[in-house]
Structure 1
Amino acid sequence: MIGLGEACALGSAATWAVGVVMYRRLGEQLPPLALNAIKSVIVLTLLLPTAFLVHGANLGLSSIEIGLAVLSGLVGIALADTLYLRALNELGAGRMGIVGNAYSPFVILLGVVFLGERLGAIQILGFLLVSGGVLLVAKPP
């Protein structure tokens, strides 16, 4: 049986897969920056009222935490998603789905360096297999 975290991760992967196909179709009509802007406005319009309903108006965040959230949005949404959408247009959904797995080794490395996370032998093996697979598939056909 899987835990809540694993179930959420699998749900995230499944919904991302649907999103990738939709973004690929929309990317045929819209440039990456415009698509990202439209997507972000729609998400913000839906997410803000939901967050207020669920958590209330006062989240109790410090100014540093708000600054980190803004920086995270700039890096993770504005820059990373625009690059992702451009790569999706260039590579197609299938190759991008595989090459996009480069995300995992980067997250693992940053977790070890900045969060002090530790890897066991199985995680190191997985890291090497994913990294090798991504490098293998990233080569043009």
Structure 2
Amino acid sequence: MIYLGELAALFAAFLWAASSVAFRYIGRSVSPLHLNFTKGAVAIALIGLTLALQQDWTPGGNWRAIALLLIGGALGIGIGDTFFLSAINTIGPRRTLILEALSPPLAATLAFVFLQEQLDWESLFGILLTVAGVIWVVSEGMAQPLPQTSSPLRGIGFGLLSALGQASGAVLSRAALSTTTISPLWSSLFRLLAGLAAIALILLFQQPQQNGFKPLYSPERSHSGKSLLGTIALTAFFSTFLGIWLQQTAFKYAKVGVAQSLLATSPLFAILLARVSGERVSLRAILGAAIAIVGILLLFND
């Protein structure tokens, strides 16, 4: 199918934007790391069930590809997501998203150096416009003060490490998927397994009062516990199970710089969802989205 990778990336970005509403609700009761671990565990169970239903018992790749996917999962999901959450807590979501927008050009640069993956000038300009449009959208309201007791330089460091982790994970996935017959679903499983292992290690070395899992369901709060579990399971299905499956499909069938740029368009879909729900959308956000859309159209040029 033509443009399969590009379309998969856009659909993944849409699912992540839609799921962000549920994440805000869940985040009131579950810490970010525990939420990341829980939804990853749910997604692994769903992937295992899907593979069983498909009777797909072998990944189809080689040990080198599997190793690349495991390392990429640890970097992208375990390390990258952890630094992303840390940056949000330190410098706020908008500033973090601006730093995260560095991930597509970083991914394109790493792919050029290590995979000899070249992009034409039209695609490079498309990446530039897409990233610029996203930055223009998320930078609105930057005059808001930083969270109290935050360290701007530390937060910037967290954001840059997150972008580098995401870009490195993307390139490693592309290296594994583009050179073997391993399926995106199997690669999603390996990435999630490695990511959850990294998160488990981080939780293990946290302070004792931070690292214990609080039960999501207990007799004392049976109704709220069931609601929370159901919300996490439903969100994990769309954002993690389908989202990462689509992400890996994008890395298999599209160049990594293009795929990573399209995956970074979640803020644009968030604007669309806000407008559909009746919220006011500023002219600046509309113009930023228009710039990014021009960039997206340029990326559909192969």
Residues 22, 88 of structure 1: alpha-carbon distance in 2 compared, 3 angstrom cutoff: farther
Moved more, 49-58 or 14-23: 49-58
Q: Deviation of residue 139 (structure 1)?
A: 10
Aligned to 2:104: 104
Runs (5+) with no aligned partner, structure 2: 144-302
Q: 1:95 to 1:17 in 2, by over 3 A?
A: farther
Aligned 8 A contact 2:95 2:142 in 1: no
Aligned counterpart, 1:84:
84
| Aligned positions, number | 139
Structure 1 residues 43-62: aligned runs within 5 Å: 43-54=43-54, 56-62=56-62
- Check 1:44–1:36 CA distance in 2 against 1; reply closer, same or farther (3 A cut): same
1:62 counterpart letter in structure 2: N
Alignment of 1:1-141 (within 5 A): 3-54=3-54, 56-89=56-89, 91-92=92-93, 99-129=99-129, 130=131, 134=135, 137=139, 140-141=142-143
Deviations 1:9-60 (A, max 9, x none): 2211110111233223323332222111111111111112212333511223
Q: For residues 24 and 54 of structure 1, do their structure 2 counterparts lie closer, same or farther at Cα, with a shift above 3 Å needed?
A: same
Per residue, is there more helix in 1 or in 2?
A: 1
SS of 2:59's equivalent in the other structure is coil
User: Closer, same or farther in 2 for the Cα pair 1:111/1:128, shift >3 Å?
Assistant: same
CA RMSD of aligned residues (A): 3.2
Task: Please identify the structure whose Cα radius of gyration is greater.
Answer: 2
Normalised TM-score (structure 2): 0.39
Percent of residue pairs identical: 32
- Kindly provide the amino acid, as one letter, of the partner of residue 78 in structure 1: G
- TM-score using structure 1 length: 0.74
Bigger mean CA offset, 47-56 vs 127-136: 127-136
> Which protein has greater RCO, CA pairs closer than 8 Å, 6+ apart?
2
